[in-house]
Amino acid sequence: MVMMSLPLRLPATGLWTTGLDLYPPGESAELAAELEELGLGALWLSEGLVHDPFVAAAGLLAATRSLVVGTGIAVIWGRHPHWLRASARALLDARPGRFALGLGVSHAQVVNGVLGLDFQRPLATLRTYLDDLDAPDGMRAMLGLPEAGRPPRVLAALGPRALELARDRADGAITYLVPPEHTARARALLGPDRTLIVEQSVVVGTGHDDARSRAREHIASYLGGPAYRASWQRLGFTDADLEAGGSDRLVDALVAVGEDQVAGRIAAHLAAGADHVCLQALPAEQFTGVPARQWRLLAAIGRPAAA
């Protein structure tokens, strides 16, 4: 365990998940408690599919003793800064040192297609949102209460300008779908005193062909995202790598398959400057629940790296 710019203790590895809120809350809580017993130290929740991630985080924190729960990430669009700040502060007040606020702009498919909002000028919008988030709390002033201070936060960031914003306006960054080469560049931009959290997609506990199929399907779902394409092109991937579901070279760089490769990729990210690597286990079908069997395997893989 190490202390970083983000004022809480994170192990070297954790889990990142989408779809945990598809389980009944009681089952999710039981699974989180089991994973904590297996040695898991941190769990990151993506923007909720059916439940608000702050509500989900409250249940998971209550069901565990020391597990750190983070939003990875909460989407800023449609969330008033006052209420987001209040939600984060309530979790931190209830469970000091155990909640990590991750914020980001997501992408057009979610913002336009799901939320029905207008995805424009995302980086400028995030800057303005942070200004509002850091403004004096009018409600506390009206009630005669002192300022509570801003909740610690990390920002979703891939490109240089986003990483610089995370360096200047947050406690660090959380990156997504990147190889260790990106982690080294991100560390250089963030400097030594900001927390760098890296998501790493993985498949364990299944046959090679099935694992490759899951990996390719996962990468294919992001090939239309301009931010991801730009990120990969900055790392030297070509247009040919971004066609027909993604080249083998791209898939291999972004998804670790099998326990040995996962352990090696964790080590490579940490050596490149990551403080914490959150492992996203890819299920056989997207949005059908959570890959609990893989999580149990990953809890064991992560323990040596976290020691």
Confidence of residue 296 (pLDDT cuts 50, 70, 90): very high
Q: Give percent of the chain with pLDDT exceeding 70.
A: 95
| Residue range 170-213, pLDDT digits in tens | 999 999 999 999 999 999 999 999 999 999 999 999 999 999 99
E strand or H helix that includes residue 3:
strand 2-3
Which two three-digit tokens encode residue 234?
């900055």
| ∠ CA 145-147-153, rounded to 5° | 140
**pLDDT (0 to 100) of residue 6:** 85
Alpha-carbon distances, residue 211 vs 207, 216, 295, 305 (angstroms): 6, 9, 15, 23
Please tell me the pTM assigned to this model.
Answer: 0.94
Listed in sequence order, the residues at least 6 apart from 24 whose beta carbon sits closer than 8 Å to its beta carbon are: none
Say which amino acid occupies 297. L
Cα 151 to the chain's mean position, in Å? 17
Where does 113-207 have alpha helices with state H? Answer: 122-134, 138-142, 160-169, 180-190
123: helix, strand or coil: helix
Number of structural domains the chain divides into:
1
| Residue range 80-89, pLDDT digits in tens | 999 999 999 9
Residue 262 sits in a domain of what CATH number? 3.20.20.30
User: Where in the sequence is the domain holding 60, given as residue range(s)?
Assistant: 2-306
| Residue range 233-268, pLDDT digits in tens | 999 999 999 998 899 999 999 999 999 999 999 999
Spatial contact of 266 and 302, defined as CB atoms under 8 Å apart: yes
Confidence of residue 287 (pLDDT cuts 50, 70, 90): low
Packing angle of the helix pair 81-94, 53-63 (nearest 10 deg): 0
Q: Is the pLDDT of residue 32 over 90?
A: yes
E strand or H helix that includes residue 292:
helix 292-306
| Residue range 37-67, pLDDT digits in tens | 999 999 999 987 678 999 999 999 999 999 9
Confidence of residue 225 (pLDDT cuts 50, 70, 90): very high
Q: Give percent of the chain with pLDDT exceeding 90.
A: 76
How far apart are alpha carbons 116 and 35 in whole angstroms? 36
**pLDDT (0 to 100) of residue 305:** 42
**pLDDT (0 to 100) of residue 3:** 38
**pLDDT (0 to 100) of residue 9:** 86
